[in-house]
Structure 1
Protein backbone atom coordinates (compact mmCIF):
# COMPACT_ATOMS: atom_id res chain seq x y z
CA UNK A 1 0.00 0.00 0.00
CA UNK A 2 1.22 3.47 -0.91
CA UNK A 3 -0.32 6.27 1.13
CA UNK A 4 -1.10 9.71 -0.23
CA UNK A 5 1.44 11.11 2.25
CA UNK A 6 4.14 8.93 0.76
CA UNK A 7 3.10 9.75 -2.80
CA UNK A 8 2.92 13.52 -2.37
CA UNK A 9 0.48 16.03 -3.85
CA UNK A 10 1.97 16.45 -7.32
CA UNK A 11 2.33 12.72 -7.95
CA UNK A 12 -1.19 12.10 -6.65
CA UNK A 13 -2.63 14.73 -8.98
CA UNK A 14 -0.70 13.26 -11.90
CA UNK A 15 -2.26 9.85 -11.20
CA UNK A 16 -5.71 11.22 -10.30
CA UNK A 17 -6.38 13.72 -13.08
CA UNK A 18 -6.31 11.35 -16.10
CA UNK A 19 -9.08 9.26 -14.52
CA UNK A 20 -11.50 12.21 -14.37
CA UNK A 21 -14.28 12.81 -16.91
CA UNK A 22 -14.09 15.66 -19.45
CA UNK A 23 -16.89 17.96 -20.59
CA UNK A 24 -17.37 19.41 -24.07
CA UNK A 25 -17.79 22.82 -22.38
CA UNK A 26 -14.19 22.79 -21.20
CA UNK A 27 -11.86 25.36 -22.70
CA UNK A 28 -9.18 24.96 -20.03
CA UNK A 29 -9.36 22.13 -17.51
CA UNK A 30 -7.33 20.99 -14.48
CA UNK A 31 -3.74 22.10 -14.03
CA UNK A 32 -3.92 25.89 -13.99
CA UNK A 33 -5.05 28.43 -11.37
CA UNK A 34 -8.63 28.23 -12.62
CA UNK A 35 -10.64 26.41 -15.25
CA UNK A 36 -12.37 28.04 -18.22
CA UNK A 37 -15.75 26.91 -19.57
CA UNK A 38 -17.98 27.96 -22.43
CA UNK A 39 -21.51 28.66 -21.15
CA UNK A 40 -24.79 28.60 -23.07
CA UNK A 41 -27.42 30.71 -21.31
CA UNK A 42 -27.32 31.51 -17.59
CA UNK A 43 -24.73 29.92 -15.31
CA UNK A 44 -26.22 27.80 -12.50
CA UNK A 45 -24.04 26.91 -9.50
CA UNK A 46 -24.47 24.72 -6.42
CA UNK A 47 -22.19 23.06 -3.87
CA UNK A 48 -22.30 20.24 -1.36
CA UNK A 49 -20.08 18.51 1.16
CA UNK A 50 -19.68 14.88 2.24
CA UNK A 51 -17.89 14.07 5.47
CA UNK A 52 -16.67 10.68 6.62
CA UNK A 53 -18.92 9.16 9.33
CA UNK A 54 -21.48 11.90 8.74
CA UNK A 55 -22.49 11.35 5.13
CA UNK A 56 -20.70 8.08 4.37
CA UNK A 57 -18.95 5.28 6.22
CA UNK A 58 -15.83 3.54 4.99
CA UNK A 59 -17.13 0.16 6.15
CA UNK A 60 -20.26 0.59 4.01
CA UNK A 61 -19.02 2.54 1.00
CA UNK A 62 -16.18 1.82 -1.38
CA UNK A 63 -14.30 4.82 -2.80
CA UNK A 64 -16.19 4.46 -6.09
CA UNK A 65 -19.46 4.77 -4.14
CA UNK A 66 -18.28 7.97 -2.46
CA UNK A 67 -17.23 9.43 -5.80
CA UNK A 68 -20.55 8.46 -7.37
CA UNK A 69 -22.57 9.98 -4.51
CA UNK A 70 -20.51 13.17 -4.52
CA UNK A 71 -21.23 13.65 -8.20
CA UNK A 72 -24.82 12.49 -8.41
CA UNK A 73 -26.30 14.52 -5.58
CA UNK A 74 -24.77 17.63 -7.14
CA UNK A 75 -25.96 16.83 -10.66
CA UNK A 76 -29.46 16.50 -9.19
CA UNK A 77 -29.22 20.02 -7.73
CA UNK A 78 -28.61 21.50 -11.18
CA UNK A 79 -31.37 19.37 -12.70
CA UNK A 80 -33.68 20.65 -9.96
CA UNK A 81 -33.33 24.15 -11.42
CA UNK A 82 -34.45 22.93 -14.83
CA UNK A 83 -30.87 23.37 -16.04
CA UNK A 84 -28.24 21.07 -17.55
CA UNK A 85 -25.14 20.12 -15.51
CA UNK A 86 -21.82 20.57 -17.29
CA UNK A 87 -18.91 20.40 -14.84
CA UNK A 88 -17.74 19.75 -11.29
CA UNK A 89 -14.99 21.22 -9.14
CA UNK A 90 -13.99 18.64 -6.51
CA UNK A 91 -12.00 19.29 -3.34
CA UNK A 92 -10.77 16.26 -1.40
CA UNK A 93 -9.36 16.49 2.13
CA UNK A 94 -7.88 13.34 3.64
CA UNK A 95 -5.33 12.10 6.20
CA UNK A 96 -1.85 11.40 4.82
CA UNK A 97 -2.28 7.75 5.86
CA UNK A 98 -5.08 7.21 3.32
CA UNK A 99 -4.24 4.60 0.67
CA UNK A 100 -3.52 6.36 -2.64
CA UNK A 101 -5.54 3.67 -4.39
CA UNK A 102 -8.63 4.93 -2.51
CA UNK A 103 -8.23 8.32 -4.19
CA UNK A 104 -7.82 6.80 -7.65
CA UNK A 105 -10.92 4.63 -7.20
CA UNK A 106 -12.79 7.69 -5.90
CA UNK A 107 -11.95 9.36 -9.23
CA UNK A 108 -13.33 6.30 -11.03
CA UNK A 109 -16.63 6.74 -9.19
CA UNK A 110 -16.80 10.38 -10.24
CA UNK A 111 -16.21 9.36 -13.86
CA UNK A 112 -18.82 6.57 -13.76
CA UNK A 113 -21.48 9.00 -12.52
CA UNK A 114 -20.55 11.93 -14.76
CA UNK A 115 -19.66 10.51 -18.17
CA UNK A 116 -23.19 9.39 -19.18
CA UNK A 117 -24.31 13.00 -18.71
CA UNK A 118 -21.41 14.68 -20.50
CA UNK A 119 -20.21 16.24 -17.25
CA UNK A 120 -16.51 16.80 -16.60
CA UNK A 121 -14.37 17.42 -13.53
CA UNK A 122 -12.50 20.60 -14.34
CA UNK A 123 -10.41 21.09 -11.21
CA UNK A 124 -10.53 21.41 -7.45
CA UNK A 125 -8.09 21.04 -4.60
CA UNK A 126 -6.38 18.52 -2.31
CA UNK A 127 -5.74 19.03 1.39
CA UNK A 128 -4.62 17.14 4.46
CA UNK A 129 -7.22 16.50 7.17
CA UNK A 130 -8.00 14.20 10.10
CA UNK A 131 -10.79 12.49 8.16
CA UNK A 132 -11.95 12.24 4.57
CA UNK A 133 -14.23 14.99 3.33
CA UNK A 134 -15.34 15.87 -0.18
CA UNK A 135 -16.59 19.28 -1.27
CA UNK A 136 -18.13 19.59 -4.73
CA UNK A 137 -19.13 22.68 -6.67
CA UNK A 138 -21.29 21.88 -9.69
CA UNK A 139 -21.84 24.16 -12.67
CA UNK A 140 -24.71 24.06 -15.11
CA UNK A 141 -26.31 26.12 -17.85
CA UNK A 142 -29.86 26.96 -18.87
CA UNK A 143 -29.52 26.95 -22.68
CA UNK A 144 -31.78 30.00 -22.72
CA UNK A 145 -34.63 28.60 -20.60
CA UNK A 146 -35.69 30.21 -17.32
CA UNK A 147 -34.50 28.48 -14.13
CA UNK A 148 -37.31 26.97 -12.05
CA UNK A 149 -37.08 27.99 -8.39
CA UNK A 150 -39.01 27.05 -5.23
CA UNK A 151 -40.80 30.39 -5.20
CA UNK A 152 -43.57 30.43 -7.79
CA UNK A 153 -46.10 27.76 -6.84
CA UNK A 154 -49.66 29.06 -6.57
CA UNK A 155 -52.69 27.74 -4.68
CA UNK A 156 -54.76 25.21 -6.61
CA UNK A 157 -51.85 23.56 -8.42
CA UNK A 158 -50.81 19.89 -8.36
CA UNK A 159 -47.78 18.41 -6.62
CA UNK A 160 -45.93 15.47 -8.19
CA UNK A 161 -42.79 13.34 -7.80
CA UNK A 162 -40.68 11.91 -10.59
CA UNK A 163 -40.16 8.38 -9.18
CA UNK A 164 -41.02 6.06 -6.29
CA UNK A 165 -39.43 7.07 -2.99
CA UNK A 166 -37.97 5.40 0.08
CA UNK A 167 -35.26 3.24 -1.48
CA UNK A 168 -32.31 5.08 0.08
CA UNK A 169 -33.95 5.10 3.51
CA UNK A 170 -34.63 1.37 3.24
CA UNK A 171 -31.00 0.75 2.31
CA UNK A 172 -29.77 2.85 5.21
CA UNK A 173 -31.91 0.98 7.73
CA UNK A 174 -30.67 -2.39 6.45
CA UNK A 175 -27.03 -1.31 6.72
CA UNK A 176 -27.61 0.14 10.19
CA UNK A 177 -29.24 -3.06 11.40
CA UNK A 178 -26.75 -5.35 9.69
CA UNK A 179 -29.42 -6.88 7.44
CA UNK A 180 -29.17 -7.42 3.68
CA UNK A 181 -32.77 -8.03 2.68
CA UNK A 182 -32.91 -6.12 -0.59
CA UNK A 183 -29.64 -5.44 -2.39
CA UNK A 184 -31.17 -2.93 -4.80
CA UNK A 185 -32.19 -0.52 -2.06
CA UNK A 186 -28.82 -0.88 -0.32
CA UNK A 187 -27.20 -0.06 -3.65
CA UNK A 188 -29.46 2.96 -4.11
CA UNK A 189 -28.44 4.30 -0.72
CA UNK A 190 -24.76 3.94 -1.57
CA UNK A 191 -25.20 5.16 -5.15
CA UNK A 192 -28.33 7.29 -5.68
CA UNK A 193 -29.70 7.00 -9.21
CA UNK A 194 -32.08 9.88 -9.88
CA UNK A 195 -33.09 10.29 -13.50
CA UNK A 196 -30.97 13.32 -14.44
CA UNK A 197 -33.08 15.26 -16.92
CA UNK A 198 -36.34 14.85 -15.00
CA UNK A 199 -35.98 18.41 -13.70
CA UNK A 200 -35.51 19.83 -17.18
CA UNK A 201 -38.49 17.73 -18.27
CA UNK A 202 -40.59 19.31 -15.49
CA UNK A 203 -39.46 22.79 -16.54
CA UNK A 204 -40.44 22.16 -20.14
CA UNK A 205 -43.88 20.99 -18.92
CA UNK A 206 -44.47 24.28 -17.11
CA UNK A 207 -43.46 23.46 -13.52
CA UNK A 208 -43.92 26.48 -11.25
CA UNK A 209 -41.70 25.15 -8.43
CA UNK A 210 -39.09 22.42 -8.40
CA UNK A 211 -36.44 20.82 -6.19
CA UNK A 212 -34.76 17.48 -5.64
CA UNK A 213 -35.71 15.35 -2.63
CA UNK A 214 -32.55 15.19 -0.57
CA UNK A 215 -33.78 15.58 3.02
CA UNK A 216 -37.14 13.82 2.73
CA UNK A 217 -40.34 14.51 0.82
CA UNK A 218 -42.09 16.32 3.67
CA UNK A 219 -39.19 18.55 4.65
CA UNK A 220 -38.47 19.49 1.06
CA UNK A 221 -42.16 20.06 0.30
CA UNK A 222 -42.25 22.35 3.34
CA UNK A 223 -39.41 24.35 1.79
CA UNK A 224 -41.41 24.91 -1.38
CA UNK A 225 -44.47 25.78 0.70
CA UNK A 226 -42.54 28.36 2.71
CA UNK A 227 -40.81 29.96 -0.27
CA UNK A 228 -44.00 30.07 -2.37
CA UNK A 229 -46.20 31.06 0.59
CA UNK A 230 -48.68 28.25 -0.02
CA UNK A 231 -49.79 25.15 1.82
CA UNK A 232 -49.09 21.70 0.41
CA UNK A 233 -51.60 18.92 1.05
CA UNK A 234 -50.15 15.45 0.48
CA UNK A 235 -52.18 12.24 0.20
CA UNK A 236 -50.07 9.49 1.80
CA UNK A 237 -51.75 6.73 -0.21
CA UNK A 238 -50.71 8.44 -3.46
CA UNK A 239 -47.01 8.71 -2.60
CA UNK A 240 -45.27 5.96 -4.61
CA UNK A 241 -43.07 3.65 -2.53
CA UNK A 242 -40.13 1.84 -4.14
CA UNK A 243 -40.86 -1.89 -4.47
CA UNK A 244 -37.57 -2.85 -2.84
CA UNK A 245 -38.44 -0.67 0.13
CA UNK A 246 -41.82 -2.41 0.39
CA UNK A 247 -40.11 -5.79 0.37
CA UNK A 248 -37.53 -4.80 3.01
CA UNK A 249 -40.26 -3.33 5.21
CA UNK A 250 -42.30 -6.52 4.93
CA UNK A 251 -39.32 -8.58 6.11
CA UNK A 252 -38.66 -6.09 8.94
CA UNK A 253 -42.39 -6.03 9.80
CA UNK A 254 -42.66 -2.25 9.59
CA UNK A 255 -44.60 0.26 7.51
CA UNK A 256 -42.56 1.48 4.49
CA UNK A 257 -44.53 4.72 4.06
CA UNK A 258 -42.41 6.75 6.53
CA UNK A 259 -39.37 5.93 4.38
CA UNK A 260 -41.11 7.48 1.37
CA UNK A 261 -42.41 10.47 3.32
CA UNK A 262 -39.39 11.40 5.44
CA UNK A 263 -36.43 9.37 4.16
CA UNK A 264 -34.05 11.47 2.10
CA UNK A 265 -31.23 10.90 -0.38
CA UNK A 266 -33.27 9.45 -3.23
CA UNK A 267 -32.64 12.75 -5.09
CA UNK A 268 -35.73 12.33 -7.28
CA UNK A 269 -37.62 15.47 -8.29
CA UNK A 270 -40.50 17.17 -6.49
CA UNK A 271 -42.45 19.63 -8.63
CA UNK A 272 -45.59 21.76 -8.70
CA UNK A 273 -47.53 22.04 -11.97
CA UNK A 274 -50.51 24.19 -12.98
CA UNK A 275 -53.76 22.25 -12.66
CA UNK A 276 -54.87 20.95 -16.03
CA UNK A 277 -51.37 21.03 -17.52
CA UNK A 278 -49.76 17.81 -18.71
CA UNK A 279 -47.73 16.30 -15.87
CA UNK A 280 -44.86 14.39 -17.54
CA UNK A 281 -45.34 10.69 -18.16
CA UNK A 282 -43.92 8.59 -15.34
CA UNK A 283 -44.52 11.25 -12.70
CA UNK A 284 -47.03 10.66 -9.89
CA UNK A 285 -49.40 13.33 -8.57
CA UNK A 286 -49.37 13.17 -4.75
CA UNK A 287 -51.29 16.27 -3.68
CA UNK A 288 -52.02 19.90 -4.30
CA UNK A 289 -51.16 23.40 -3.18
CA UNK A 290 -53.66 25.45 -1.19
CA UNK A 291 -54.20 28.77 0.54
CA UNK A 292 -56.22 27.12 3.34
CA UNK A 293 -53.16 26.62 5.57
CA UNK A 294 -49.39 27.14 5.63
CA UNK A 295 -46.73 24.45 5.50
CA UNK A 296 -47.32 20.77 4.78
CA UNK A 297 -50.10 18.44 5.85
CA UNK A 298 -50.46 14.73 5.22
CA UNK A 299 -54.04 13.49 4.94
CA UNK A 300 -55.14 16.70 6.63
CA UNK A 301 -52.79 16.35 9.61
CA UNK A 302 -49.63 18.25 10.55
CA UNK A 303 -46.83 15.65 10.46
CA UNK A 304 -44.79 15.05 13.60
CA UNK A 305 -41.63 14.26 11.61
CA UNK A 306 -40.58 16.15 8.48
CA UNK A 307 -37.35 14.26 7.80
CA UNK A 308 -33.61 14.86 7.97
CA UNK A 309 -32.24 18.00 9.63
CA UNK A 310 -28.49 18.54 9.16
CA UNK A 311 -28.14 20.10 12.61
CA UNK A 312 -30.80 18.10 14.39
CA UNK A 313 -29.80 14.60 13.23
Structure 2
Protein backbone atom coordinates (compact mmCIF):
# COMPACT_ATOMS: atom_id res chain seq x y z
CA UNK A 1 0.00 0.00 0.00
CA UNK A 2 1.39 3.39 -1.00
CA UNK A 3 2.00 6.06 1.61
CA UNK A 4 1.41 9.77 1.19
CA UNK A 5 5.15 10.26 1.52
CA UNK A 6 5.75 8.00 -1.47
CA UNK A 7 3.16 9.88 -3.50
CA UNK A 8 4.74 13.24 -2.66
CA UNK A 9 2.95 16.53 -2.16
CA UNK A 10 1.74 17.03 -5.70
CA UNK A 11 0.94 13.39 -6.31
CA UNK A 12 -1.18 13.37 -3.14
CA UNK A 13 -2.97 16.57 -4.12
CA UNK A 14 -3.74 15.20 -7.58
CA UNK A 15 -5.00 11.91 -6.13
CA UNK A 16 -7.27 13.55 -3.57
CA UNK A 17 -8.70 16.38 -5.64
CA UNK A 18 -9.44 14.18 -8.67
CA UNK A 19 -12.19 12.51 -6.64
CA UNK A 20 -13.84 15.65 -5.29
CA UNK A 21 -17.20 16.65 -6.80
CA UNK A 22 -17.70 20.36 -7.44
CA UNK A 23 -21.00 22.10 -6.88
CA UNK A 24 -22.46 25.02 -8.80
CA UNK A 25 -21.31 27.49 -6.13
CA UNK A 26 -17.65 26.65 -6.83
CA UNK A 27 -16.96 27.83 -10.41
CA UNK A 28 -13.22 27.21 -9.95
CA UNK A 29 -12.11 24.46 -7.58
CA UNK A 30 -8.81 22.77 -6.71
CA UNK A 31 -5.90 22.98 -9.14
CA UNK A 32 -5.07 26.69 -9.27
CA UNK A 33 -3.45 29.11 -6.81
CA UNK A 34 -6.85 29.68 -5.21
CA UNK A 35 -10.45 28.63 -5.63
CA UNK A 36 -13.32 30.87 -6.72
CA UNK A 37 -16.51 30.66 -4.66
CA UNK A 38 -19.76 32.26 -5.76
CA UNK A 39 -21.09 34.85 -3.29
CA UNK A 40 -24.40 36.02 -4.75
CA UNK A 41 -25.35 37.72 -1.48
CA UNK A 42 -22.22 39.92 -1.59
CA UNK A 43 -21.26 38.73 1.90
CA UNK A 44 -19.46 35.55 2.92
CA UNK A 45 -19.99 33.69 6.19
CA UNK A 46 -16.66 32.15 7.27
CA UNK A 47 -15.56 29.91 10.13
CA UNK A 48 -12.56 27.72 10.90
CA UNK A 49 -11.62 24.85 13.22
CA UNK A 50 -8.55 22.80 14.07
CA UNK A 51 -8.69 19.07 14.80
CA UNK A 52 -5.62 17.43 16.29
CA UNK A 53 -5.11 13.68 16.52
CA UNK A 54 -5.36 12.46 20.11
CA UNK A 55 -7.26 15.56 21.19
CA UNK A 56 -10.24 15.68 18.85
CA UNK A 57 -10.17 12.20 17.34
CA UNK A 58 -8.44 8.86 17.77
CA UNK A 59 -7.64 6.60 14.86
CA UNK A 60 -8.20 3.51 16.98
CA UNK A 61 -11.77 4.71 17.64
CA UNK A 62 -12.70 6.24 14.28
CA UNK A 63 -11.88 5.39 10.69
CA UNK A 64 -10.75 8.05 8.21
CA UNK A 65 -14.17 8.34 6.56
CA UNK A 66 -15.89 9.14 9.88
CA UNK A 67 -13.12 11.57 10.83
CA UNK A 68 -13.67 13.38 7.54
CA UNK A 69 -17.43 13.57 8.06
CA UNK A 70 -16.99 14.84 11.60
CA UNK A 71 -14.40 17.46 10.61
CA UNK A 72 -16.67 18.82 7.90
CA UNK A 73 -19.84 18.65 9.98
CA UNK A 74 -18.61 20.75 12.88
CA UNK A 75 -17.66 23.58 10.54
CA UNK A 76 -20.65 23.39 8.23
CA UNK A 77 -22.92 23.47 11.29
CA UNK A 78 -21.34 26.76 12.37
CA UNK A 79 -22.23 28.27 9.00
CA UNK A 80 -25.80 27.02 9.22
CA UNK A 81 -26.08 28.41 12.75
CA UNK A 82 -25.64 31.89 11.26
CA UNK A 83 -28.77 31.31 9.18
CA UNK A 84 -26.62 30.74 6.08
CA UNK A 85 -26.36 27.94 3.56
CA UNK A 86 -22.91 26.31 3.36
CA UNK A 87 -21.14 26.72 0.03
CA UNK A 88 -17.55 25.50 0.34
CA UNK A 89 -14.90 23.90 2.53
CA UNK A 90 -11.14 24.56 2.50
CA UNK A 91 -9.05 21.77 4.02
CA UNK A 92 -5.57 21.93 5.50
CA UNK A 93 -4.28 18.34 5.95
CA UNK A 94 -1.08 17.65 7.89
CA UNK A 95 0.08 14.06 8.41
CA UNK A 96 3.16 11.87 8.90
CA UNK A 97 4.68 10.78 5.56
CA UNK A 98 4.10 7.11 6.39
CA UNK A 99 0.30 7.62 6.51
CA UNK A 100 -1.37 5.29 4.02
CA UNK A 101 -2.70 6.89 0.85
CA UNK A 102 -5.89 4.86 1.27
CA UNK A 103 -6.36 6.44 4.70
CA UNK A 104 -6.19 9.88 3.07
CA UNK A 105 -8.65 8.69 0.41
CA UNK A 106 -11.12 7.73 3.13
CA UNK A 107 -10.69 11.05 4.91
CA UNK A 108 -11.45 13.06 1.79
CA UNK A 109 -14.36 10.81 0.86
CA UNK A 110 -15.87 11.64 4.26
CA UNK A 111 -15.24 15.35 3.78
CA UNK A 112 -16.84 15.27 0.33
CA UNK A 113 -19.90 13.29 1.42
CA UNK A 114 -20.60 15.56 4.40
CA UNK A 115 -20.29 18.58 2.14
CA UNK A 116 -22.78 17.00 -0.25
CA UNK A 117 -25.21 16.48 2.62
CA UNK A 118 -24.99 20.18 3.43
CA UNK A 119 -25.07 21.41 -0.16
CA UNK A 120 -21.42 22.46 -0.21
CA UNK A 121 -18.17 21.37 -1.93
CA UNK A 122 -14.52 20.89 -0.95
CA UNK A 123 -13.01 23.78 -2.92
CA UNK A 124 -9.31 23.50 -2.06
CA UNK A 125 -6.74 23.52 0.72
CA UNK A 126 -3.19 22.38 1.41
CA UNK A 127 -1.21 19.31 2.47
CA UNK A 128 1.97 19.18 4.55
CA UNK A 129 4.06 16.68 6.50
CA UNK A 130 3.70 16.74 10.30
CA UNK A 131 4.39 14.45 13.30
CA UNK A 132 0.67 13.85 13.85
CA UNK A 133 -2.48 14.22 11.82
CA UNK A 134 -3.95 17.70 12.06
CA UNK A 135 -6.86 19.14 10.10
CA UNK A 136 -7.50 22.84 9.60
CA UNK A 137 -10.99 23.30 8.16
CA UNK A 138 -12.51 26.54 6.89
CA UNK A 139 -16.18 26.59 5.91
CA UNK A 140 -17.87 29.31 3.87
CA UNK A 141 -21.54 30.12 3.43
CA UNK A 142 -24.05 32.46 1.84
CA UNK A 143 -26.80 34.37 3.67
CA UNK A 144 -29.10 34.56 0.66
CA UNK A 145 -29.88 38.20 1.28
CA UNK A 146 -30.98 37.73 4.89
CA UNK A 147 -29.55 39.09 8.10
CA UNK A 148 -27.10 36.84 9.95
CA UNK A 149 -28.36 35.14 13.08
CA UNK A 150 -26.04 35.99 15.96
CA UNK A 151 -25.90 35.21 19.67
CA UNK A 152 -26.80 38.77 20.63
CA UNK A 153 -30.48 39.09 19.72
CA UNK A 154 -32.32 37.22 22.51
CA UNK A 155 -34.93 39.29 24.37
CA UNK A 156 -36.79 38.79 27.63
CA UNK A 157 -39.98 36.88 26.91
CA UNK A 158 -38.51 34.87 24.03
CA UNK A 159 -38.89 31.11 23.96
CA UNK A 160 -35.80 28.87 23.95
CA UNK A 161 -35.90 25.87 21.61
CA UNK A 162 -33.60 23.17 20.27
CA UNK A 163 -33.50 21.01 17.17
CA UNK A 164 -31.34 17.91 16.69
CA UNK A 165 -30.12 15.17 19.00
CA UNK A 166 -28.50 16.07 22.31
CA UNK A 167 -26.09 14.05 24.45
CA UNK A 168 -25.38 11.25 21.98
CA UNK A 169 -21.80 12.20 21.13
CA UNK A 170 -20.94 12.76 24.78
CA UNK A 171 -22.39 9.41 25.80
CA UNK A 172 -20.59 7.73 22.92
CA UNK A 173 -17.26 9.18 24.01
CA UNK A 174 -17.87 7.96 27.55
CA UNK A 175 -18.62 4.44 26.27
CA UNK A 176 -15.49 4.35 24.12
CA UNK A 177 -13.36 5.61 26.99
CA UNK A 178 -14.75 2.79 29.13
CA UNK A 179 -13.89 0.24 26.42
CA UNK A 180 -17.51 -0.58 25.57
CA UNK A 181 -18.87 -1.20 22.09
CA UNK A 182 -22.56 -0.35 22.46
CA UNK A 183 -25.21 0.87 22.14
CA UNK A 184 -24.02 1.15 18.52
CA UNK A 185 -26.08 4.23 17.63
CA UNK A 186 -24.61 6.17 20.54
CA UNK A 187 -21.01 5.31 19.66
CA UNK A 188 -21.73 6.08 16.00
CA UNK A 189 -22.95 9.53 17.04
CA UNK A 190 -19.55 10.31 18.59
CA UNK A 191 -17.79 9.21 15.44
CA UNK A 192 -20.10 11.02 13.04
CA UNK A 193 -22.45 13.84 14.10
CA UNK A 194 -25.57 14.51 12.07
CA UNK A 195 -26.34 18.25 12.20
CA UNK A 196 -29.75 19.21 10.82
CA UNK A 197 -28.24 21.81 8.48
CA UNK A 198 -31.59 23.10 7.27
CA UNK A 199 -32.35 24.21 10.85
CA UNK A 200 -30.27 27.37 10.44
CA UNK A 201 -32.10 28.93 7.50
CA UNK A 202 -35.36 27.56 8.88
CA UNK A 203 -34.79 29.28 12.23
CA UNK A 204 -34.37 32.59 10.47
CA UNK A 205 -37.63 32.04 8.58
CA UNK A 206 -39.34 31.28 11.90
CA UNK A 207 -38.20 34.63 13.30
CA UNK A 208 -35.33 33.44 15.53
CA UNK A 209 -33.72 36.22 17.52
CA UNK A 210 -30.52 34.30 18.33
CA UNK A 211 -29.03 30.97 17.26
CA UNK A 212 -25.97 28.77 17.65
CA UNK A 213 -24.96 25.16 17.17
CA UNK A 214 -24.45 23.03 20.27
CA UNK A 215 -20.79 22.08 20.07
CA UNK A 216 -19.55 22.57 23.64
CA UNK A 217 -22.63 21.52 25.64
CA UNK A 218 -26.17 22.91 25.70
CA UNK A 219 -25.86 24.86 28.95
CA UNK A 220 -22.45 26.27 28.11
CA UNK A 221 -23.58 27.32 24.66
CA UNK A 222 -26.81 28.86 25.94
CA UNK A 223 -24.62 30.87 28.31
CA UNK A 224 -22.97 32.36 25.22
CA UNK A 225 -26.36 33.60 24.04
CA UNK A 226 -27.19 34.90 27.51
CA UNK A 227 -23.89 36.77 27.77
CA UNK A 228 -23.98 38.24 24.27
CA UNK A 229 -27.65 39.28 24.63
CA UNK A 230 -27.45 40.56 28.21
CA UNK A 231 -30.25 38.28 29.41
CA UNK A 232 -30.91 35.21 31.56
CA UNK A 233 -31.98 31.89 30.07
CA UNK A 234 -34.20 29.61 32.15
CA UNK A 235 -34.20 25.93 31.14
CA UNK A 236 -36.81 23.41 32.24
CA UNK A 237 -35.06 20.06 32.58
CA UNK A 238 -38.29 18.11 32.04
CA UNK A 239 -38.66 19.74 28.62
CA UNK A 240 -35.17 18.85 27.37
CA UNK A 241 -35.37 15.97 24.88
CA UNK A 242 -33.48 13.00 26.37
CA UNK A 243 -33.35 9.78 24.37
CA UNK A 244 -33.90 6.60 26.38
CA UNK A 245 -30.86 4.99 24.74
CA UNK A 246 -28.63 7.42 26.65
CA UNK A 247 -29.41 5.59 29.89
CA UNK A 248 -29.69 6.95 33.44
CA UNK A 249 -27.20 9.76 32.78
CA UNK A 250 -29.12 10.94 29.73
CA UNK A 251 -30.07 14.34 31.12
CA UNK A 252 -26.47 15.08 32.12
CA UNK A 253 -25.29 14.22 28.62
CA UNK A 254 -28.07 16.28 27.02
CA UNK A 255 -27.28 19.34 29.14
CA UNK A 256 -23.48 19.27 29.14
CA UNK A 257 -22.36 17.03 26.25
CA UNK A 258 -21.09 18.64 23.07
CA UNK A 259 -20.27 17.66 19.49
CA UNK A 260 -23.78 16.62 18.45
CA UNK A 261 -24.10 19.96 16.64
CA UNK A 262 -27.77 20.34 17.33
CA UNK A 263 -29.13 23.89 17.15
CA UNK A 264 -30.34 26.04 20.03
CA UNK A 265 -32.08 29.34 19.54
CA UNK A 266 -34.46 31.92 20.90
CA UNK A 267 -37.74 32.83 19.23
CA UNK A 268 -40.56 35.28 19.89
CA UNK A 269 -42.94 33.75 22.44
CA UNK A 270 -45.77 33.74 19.91
CA UNK A 271 -43.74 31.98 17.21
CA UNK A 272 -45.33 28.79 15.89
CA UNK A 273 -42.53 26.23 15.82
CA UNK A 274 -42.80 22.98 13.83
CA UNK A 275 -42.50 19.63 15.67
CA UNK A 276 -38.81 19.37 14.77
CA UNK A 277 -38.12 22.13 17.33
CA UNK A 278 -38.61 21.53 21.06
CA UNK A 279 -39.26 24.40 23.50
CA UNK A 280 -37.09 23.92 26.58
CA UNK A 281 -37.35 27.24 28.39
CA UNK A 282 -37.59 31.00 28.17
CA UNK A 283 -35.51 34.18 28.18
CA UNK A 284 -35.80 36.50 31.18
CA UNK A 285 -34.16 39.61 32.57
CA UNK A 286 -30.94 38.91 34.40
CA UNK A 287 -27.72 37.06 33.62
CA UNK A 288 -26.48 33.53 33.09
CA UNK A 289 -28.35 30.25 32.74
CA UNK A 290 -30.64 28.57 35.25
CA UNK A 291 -31.95 24.99 35.19
CA UNK A 292 -35.21 24.58 37.12
CA UNK A 293 -34.43 27.87 38.84
CA UNK A 294 -30.92 26.87 39.98
CA UNK A 295 -27.44 27.71 38.74
CA UNK A 296 -25.99 24.51 37.19
CA UNK A 297 -22.62 23.20 38.29
CA UNK A 298 -19.99 23.26 35.55
CA UNK A 299 -20.15 21.06 32.48
CA UNK A 300 -19.36 21.66 28.84
CA UNK A 301 -16.22 21.44 26.75
CA UNK A 302 -13.15 23.66 27.04
CA UNK A 303 -10.24 23.03 24.64
CA UNK A 304 -7.70 24.13 27.25
CA UNK A 305 -9.11 22.06 30.08
CA UNK A 306 -7.56 18.59 30.15
Work out whether the TM-score is over 0.5.
yes
Separation in 2 of the partners of 1:83 and 1:151? 17
Moved more, 274-283 or 144-153: 274-283
Tell me the C-alpha RMSD between the 2 structures.
1.1
**Per-residue deviation, 1:255:** 2.4
Contact kept, 8 Å, 1:238 with 1:286, in 2: the verdict is yes
Per-residue Cα deviation, 1:17-65 (whole angstroms, up to 9, x for no partner): 0222312111211111111121121211111111100000000010001
Runs of 4+ that moved beyond 4 A: none
What are the equivalent positions in structure 2 for 1:1-313 lying under 5 Å apart? 1-41=1-41, 42-245=43-246, 249=247, 254-291=248-285, 293-313=286-306
Q: Which runs of 5+ in 2 are unaligned?
A: none
TM-score of the superposed pair, with normalisation by structure 2? 0.97
- Unpaired runs of 5+ residues, structure 1, are none
Say if 1:312 and 1:19 are closer, same or farther in 2 by CA, change over 3 A: same
Q: Secondary structure at the match of 1:194?
A: coil
Task: Assess if the C-alpha contact under 8 Å between 1:90 and 1:121 holds in 2.
Answer: yes
Residues 121 and 212 of structure 1: is their aligned pair in 2 closer, same or farther, counting only changes over 3 Å?
same
Whole-angstrom CA distance in 2 between matches of 1:116 and 1:68: 10
C-alpha deviation, 1:164, in angstroms: 3.5
**Residues in 2 aligned to 1:21 and 1:54: alpha-carbon distance in whole angstroms:** 30
Deviations 1:154-173 (A, max 9, x none): 11111000033111111111
SS at match of 1:46: strand
Give, in whole Å, the separation in 2 of the partners of 1:208 and 1:39.
Answer: 24
Give me the whole-angstrom Cα distance separating, in 1, the residues matched to 2:46 and 2:14: 27
Aligned equivalents of 1:289 and 1:240: distance in 2? 19
Would you say how many aligned residue pairs link Structure 1 and Structure 2?
Answer: 305
Check conservation: 2:26, 2:36, Cα contact below 8 A.
Answer: yes
| Alpha-carbon distance between aligned partners in 2 of 1:242 and 1:85, rounded to the nearest angstrom | 29
Deviation at 1:243, TM superposition (A): 3.5
Give me the TM-score of the superposition, normalised by structure 1: 0.95
